[in-house]
């Protein structure tokens, strides 16, 4: 059992804190936002993450997890301090480390005995060394000679399955050479370590690179299949069969070969841009990553063009039902969701939208403020299609996988051209062409 402070109660911090407590450690989650701390103490979980509320409440009840608005006292009593604050992207794609620096300096101002400081946020390669310097400077200012180590411990959590990912990781990566720090980290992850989860110890820069390289590789993989899907359309090939057969090759693997409207979220877009910038700065260009970034932007534009050409007419005066706004299902997160660019693109071309999402409607209201006059916020997917010319599925929510197609057809406006069928844009390939066509629609998937 290790006494831990986690700084930052965002996605990563809160999930890590709660799950580390679940491993048997004693954890205090700290945030400078006092309202957030008050809410957490009242049992309110500020983010939408399946299963998290249960892990939080159980560990609070059992006395292993608590919350604090100030950092000093928890840090003084901890053997390991996790930095899980935000690293928002700057204009040029690099990560803004000001919150990390502030946390590091406050740690330096507070520690009283040997402490392992753990970088959990995704940070540029070389940050662990910077954190070490910032803490060292604060200790020097205090005239204090207190030993400490900094390790990088990247997270590989997917939103929507973060609790599962934390408790069942493919690997744990610990970047830091100090044997003393490694011992404590092994204790922190003792329950995983005993379960024989692959446990990889490296230097800090290597650990930082592992995180970026993993995310960039996955983003490239998705982009690859998106481009193959686009090409399949030119040759009447079916990308789902292509991906299925490719995925059977163990060297390729079946995961992350689902074509769609482009990757989004708070990680892939930000991390690919940060890595590409590191490549340019280091004069060691990451040409594949650069190409994936550009192709991913293009993919969103292509979706708008697909809808326009599918309808066979200008989008001016057309009403389009948009099903799904979150960047993926099981989250309310719309950060860099392809839905943002696609909805804006459709409105720019003169369309009106009837938008719907099971979780992201609140997010959507401020994100679409500038185009709100062209948007109706529907109560659900059936309300969205009511009186629309067509529908486009942008997020593969489970509830969109089994729509009542008869009902949708009745709710949509009848096509203007005599004999034409209403268009059904399945931009996540969650339907079989045959079933949608049999229900009386013209079907448009991706790459099939």
Residue 79 or 121 with smaller CB distance to ligand UGA: 121
Cβ of residue 269: shortest distance to ligand UGA, in angstroms?
Answer: 9
Residues in contact with ligand UGA, shown as a per-residue x/- string from 312 to 341 under the rule CB under 6 A: ---------------xx-------------
426 contributes a contact to ligand UGA by CB under 6 A: no
Cβ count near 375 (within 10 Å): 18
- Rounded distance between C-alpha atoms, residue 310 and residue 424, angstroms: 9
Residue 82 or 327 with smaller CB distance to ligand UGA: 327
Restricting to residues 250-309, which ones interact with ligand UGA according to CB under 6 A? 256-258, 260, 263-265, 267-268
156 contributes a contact to ligand UGA by CB under 6 A: yes
CA 342, chain centre distance (Å): 18
Residue 273 or 328 with smaller CB distance to ligand UGA: 328
Cβ of residue 333: shortest distance to ligand UGA, in angstroms?
Answer: 8
- Rounded distance between C-alpha atoms, residue 254 and residue 248, angstroms: 6
Residue 263 or 425 with smaller CB distance to ligand UGA: 263
- Rounded distance between C-alpha atoms, residue 125 and residue 75, angstroms: 25
Number of residues this chain uses to bind ligand UGA (CB under 6 A): 20
Cβ count near 427 (within 10 Å): 28
Active site residues: 267
Q: DSSP H helical segments within 349-396, as ranges?
A: 361-367, 381-385
What is the full DSSP assignment across 244-287?
A: HHHHTSTTT-STT----S---SSSHHHHHHHHHHHHHHTT---H
| Rama region for 447: left / alpha / beta (φ>0; ψ in -120 to 50; rest) | left
Restricting to residues 116-145, which ones interact with ligand UGA according to CB under 6 A? 122
155 contributes a contact to ligand UGA by CB under 6 A: yes
- Rounded distance between C-alpha atoms, residue 424 and residue 352, angstroms: 17
Cβ of residue 213: shortest distance to ligand UGA, in angstroms?
Answer: 12
Apex CA 263: angle with CA 331 and CA 222, to 5°?
Answer: 125
163 contributes a contact to ligand UGA by CB under 6 A: no
158 contributes a contact to ligand UGA by CB under 6 A: yes
108 contributes a contact to ligand UGA by CB under 6 A: no
Residue 78 or 226 with smaller CB distance to ligand UGA: 226
Contact predicate 410/385, CB 8 Å? no
- Rounded distance between C-alpha atoms, residue 396 and residue 282, angstroms: 38
Cβ of residue 122: shortest distance to ligand UGA, in angstroms?
Answer: 6
Q: Which residues bind ligand UGA (CB under 6 A)?
A: 122, 155-159, 215, 218, 222, 256-258, 260, 263-265, 267-268, 327-328
């Amino acid at each position: 059992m290790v006494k831990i402070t986690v700084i930052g109660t965002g996605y990563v911090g809160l999930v890590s804190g709660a799950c580390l407590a679940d491993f048997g450690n004693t954890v205090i989650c700290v945030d400078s936002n006092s309202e957030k701390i008050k809410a957490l103490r009242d049992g309110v979980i500020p983010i939408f993450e399946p299963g998290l509320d249960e892990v939080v409440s159980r560990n609070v009840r059992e006395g292993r997890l608590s919350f604090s608005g100030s950092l000093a006292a928890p840090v003084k009593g901890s053997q390991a301090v996790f930095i899980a604050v935000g690293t928002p992207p700057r204009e040029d794609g690099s990560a803004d480390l000001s919150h990390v620096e502030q946390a590091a300096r406050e740690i330096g101002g507070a520690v009283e005995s040997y402490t392992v400081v753990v970088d959990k946020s995704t940070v540029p390669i070389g940050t662990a060394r910077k954190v070490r310097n910032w803490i060292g400077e604060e200790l020097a200012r205090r005239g204090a000679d207190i030993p400490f180590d900094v390790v990088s411990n990247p997270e590989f959590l997917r939103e929507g399955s973060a609790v599962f990912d934390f408790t069942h990781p493919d690997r744990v990566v610990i970047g830091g050479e100090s044997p003393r720090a490694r011992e404590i980290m092994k204790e922190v992850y003792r329950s995983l370590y005993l379960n024989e989860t692959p446990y990889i110890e490296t230097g800090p820069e290597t650990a930082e690179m592992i995180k970026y390289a993993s995310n960039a590789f996955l983003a490239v993989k998705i982009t690859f299949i998106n481009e193959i899907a686009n090409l399949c359309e030119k040759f009447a090939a079916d990308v789902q069969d292509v991906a299925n057969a490719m995925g059977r090759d163990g060297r390729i693997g079946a995961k992350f070969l689902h074509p769609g409207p482009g990757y989004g979220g708070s990680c892939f877009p930000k991390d690919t841009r940060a890595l590409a910038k590191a490549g340019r700065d280091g004069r060691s260009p990451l040409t594949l990553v650069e190409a994936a970034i550009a192709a991913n932007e293009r993919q969103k534009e292509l979706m708008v063009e697909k809808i326009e050409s599918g309808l066979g007419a200008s989008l001016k005066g057309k009403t389009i039902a948009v099903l799904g706004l979150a960047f993926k299902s099981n989250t309310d997160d719309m950060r860099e969701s392809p839905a943002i660019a696609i909805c804006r693109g459709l409105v720019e071309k003169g369309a009106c939208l009837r938008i719907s999402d099971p979780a992201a409607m609140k997010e959507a209201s401020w994100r679409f403020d500038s185009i709100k006059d062209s948007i109706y916020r529907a109560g659900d997917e059936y309300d969205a299609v009511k009186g629309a010319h067509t529908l486009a599925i942008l997020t593969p929510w489970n509830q969109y996988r089994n729509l009542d197609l008869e009902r949708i057809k009745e709710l949509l406006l009848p096509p203007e051209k005599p004999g034409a069928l209403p268009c059904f844009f399945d931009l996540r390939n969650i339907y079989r062409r045959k079933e949608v066509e049999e229900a009386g629609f013209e079907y448009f998937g991706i790459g099939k």
